[in-house]
A and B are shown apart, each in its own frame.
Chain A
Amino acid sequence: MSAITVNKKVCLLGDFAVGKTSLVRRFVYDRFEDKYLSTIGVKVSRKTVVAPAAGRVIDLAMILWDLAGSEEVDKYRESYMRGAAGAVLVCDLSRPETFDHLPVYVDEFLVVNPQSQIILAANKSDLTEALRLAPNQIESYAGSLSIPYFLTSAKTGDMVEQLFRQLGRLLLAGDLAT
């Protein structure tokens, strides 16, 4: 079994300050400064996971495009989404409006990339007292889209690795299916 490298483009989608950049900063290889997000509206980083697929070990490099979640760059977002094999939807468990906005991102993303894989990260699970979103709300939304979801904490690292590993598996499974 020889390891081969596969690269996939993945977009991080979600409102401002939901923790996308924190997910990237702590759990992902990050080379560029955050200023790119406010200037051109995107910052590229990499998350590598090792996953078995079809009897081979695959080094999957997810090239993560962290897209700025603000209205100023909305018009560029579509170009940045082009060619993505997957997306991580991020919302903030302490701010229900960030959850309400998710369908906008999903619709936009699926129009550009109909054959892609999506995963949902409900972030800031460490703020137990401030939680205003019930996990069953997340669950029912994820269920309606038939996508997996994780209650993550970029602060403690809870479920972040699992999130990316699951996405990796989905991306490679998508390849095998085609």
Chain B
Amino acid sequence: MPNHGHAGSHQDQVIGDQISGSASSLDNLRQILFHEQIEKIEDVEAGLEELERRINDERALVKMIAPVLGEAIRLKIREARDELIEALYPIIGQVVQRAVTEAVRDLARTLDTQVKRSFDFRLAWWRLRARISGASEAQIRLREMLPFTITDILLIHRETGLLLCHLRSDQSVATDTDLISGMLTAIRDFSQDTLGSVDQEGVGEIMHGNQRILMETALYTYLAVIVDGIEPAGFRAEMRERLMEIEHNYADEIRGYQGDSQTLTGVEEPLRTLMSASAGQKLSEGQKRVLAGAAGALLVVLVVSCLAISWVWRLGAASAERRAAAIPPSATMTSVPTETRTPLPSPTPSPKATVTYTPTAIPSATVTARPAPVVGVMIGNVWLRSAPSYDAARVGVILNTGDQVEILSRSGEWIYVRRISAGQIEVTGWLPARWIVAPTLLTTPGAQP
């Protein structure tokens, strides 16, 4: 049996050799017949593997799809514009609405501030400062919105309420900012839950006296800026831009934030530029001294010029009086009526009623002591003239008996009047005093009507 067994195994080996020989020759045959197809299959396999790798690798996939996606969107916009607008409206509509609301709010704030400050002496002071520093008109306008100080800037993770970054100024008011950001987030969540999702923006501002917490929200984070005073127009846009910049540059770190702020190194840089929006406007001590000096010098110059002007004026009035004394008594246009509407001709020492309607000669001509207008009634139909003389040109208007006139001033026997008549245009002119009744206050010595 062992022999048989031996012979059997020998036979097996021979058959095996034959089979393996025929197998290898079959392989050869296959290689000869199908080598092109085999190569092709290998290529396809390699291609598939590469494709698989790209699909599994998120970044590579994004890189691959991005250019096609852009083109696809463009095509879709061309072909189904309305459909796309419909789909995007929930996002775009909100953004647009937010921007418009903010623009209107900014405008209202600007107007409010302008109105509030228009009579403020500080405004003049700021203008002066800006002029001295060579600032532009726009900067002056920005400056008008001040005082405005940023005390703290907090960048907060929306979902967890964790503080990502805190920038403080010299006037910082916030301590325990990690707790503040938690509570702030809780309050925002609370208001969101209470008021619903009508406005996804959430709480935009918390006011406390003159201090406010301004908030701008992005997808994963929000910015809370504690300010003192009124922020300049455009500040919120600046806040949003900085926030977008951060979300763009730290997208991955913020999305998967695990509480380690070291992963956000450098995130404070965009916030620093925001902080300088208020800090940059501050002046150094040296600059302040120079400005104070300049303002002081300006004040001195102003006072001196006022004194000089009043002295020159008095000198002019005195010489006019001297001239009037030399000229024969006639009513000429040298007696200029003033806009002070005073019914009283000045009590000049001159015996002649001429050239007395100069402002300097009327001590009572102040805004506070303004008398009621003196009204007279016409007792004849008379031409109104452009000067106190029959030779002067007619204004082109006849005042009729019974017409009421406001008496503005008087020169000799002539009276300067304004027609008071509802529905008719206002006309002023000269007419002889005898045609007016009751101009008692305008009596001039030696010139009774």
Contact = CB atoms under 8 A, between A and B. Distances in A.
A7 B159 CA distance: 13
Interface stretch (B34-42, B228-236, B237-245, B256-264): B256-264
Interface residues of B, number: 22
B189 A76 contact: yes
Interface stretch (B177-185, B270-278, B396-404): B177-185
Interface stretch (B68-76, B135-143, B160-168, B387-395): B160-168
B55 interface: no
A175 B263 CA distance: 13
A84 interface: yes
B190 interface: yes
A80 B189 contact: yes
Contact of A46 (B159, B178, B187): B178
A6 B263 CA distance: 10
A44 B179 contact: yes
A75 interface: yes
Contact of A63 (B161, B187, B189, B260): B161
B179 A45 contact: yes
B358 interface: no
Interface string B143-186: 00000000000000101111100000000000010110011001
B193 interface: yes
Contact of A44 (B161, B190, B258, B261): B161
A43 B187 CA distance: 10
B192 interface: yes
Nearest to A178: B258
A79 B162 contact: no
Interface in A25-63: 29, 31-32, 36, 40-46, 61, 63
A84 B193 CA distance: 18
A1 interface: no
Nearest to A79: B189
Contacts of B161: 9, 44, 63, 65, 83
Contacts of A76: 189-190, 193
A61 B178 contact: yes
Contacts of A146: none
Given A44-B183, A63-B178, A63-B182, A6 B159 contact: no
Interface in A138-178: 175, 178
Contact of B162 (A4, A9, A36, A75): A9
Given A44-B182, A63-B178, A83 B157 contact: yes
B68 to A, nearest CB: 33
Interface in A102-125: none
A5 interface: yes
Contacts, number: 79
A79 B258 contact: no
A95 interface: no
Interface residues of A, number: 30
Given A7-B163, A63-B162, A31 B176 contact: yes
Interface in B180-207: 182-183, 186-187, 189-190, 192-193
A9 B258 contact: no
Contacts of B186: 40, 42, 44, 65, 80
Contact of B258 (A4, A46, A61, A175): A175
Given A75-B193, A76-B193, A79-B193, A7 B178 contact: yes
Contact of B160 (A31, A42, A84, A178): A84
A158 B189 CA distance: 35
Contacts of A80: 186, 189
Nearest to A58: B260
A88 B60 CA distance: 41
B182 to A, nearest CB: 3
A40 B193 CA distance: 11
Contacts of A61: 178
A6 B189 contact: no
Nearest to A4: B262
B35 to A, nearest CB: 49
Nearest to A48: B178
A82 interface: yes
Given A6-B258, A9-B161, A32-B183, A40 B190 contact: yes
Nearest to B192: A79
Given A9-B182, A45-B179, A61-B178, 6 more contacts: A31-B179, A40-B190, A44-B161, A44-B183, A83-B157, A85-B258
Interface of A: 4-9, 29, 31-32, 36, 40-46, 61, 63, 65, 75-76, 79-80, 82-85, 175, 178
10 contacts: A4-B260, A31-B176, A41-B190, A42-B186, A44-B186, A45-B179, A80-B189, A82-B159, A85-B160, A175-B260
The 4 closest A-B pairs by CB, nearest first: A83-B160, A44-B182, A83-B159, A79-B189
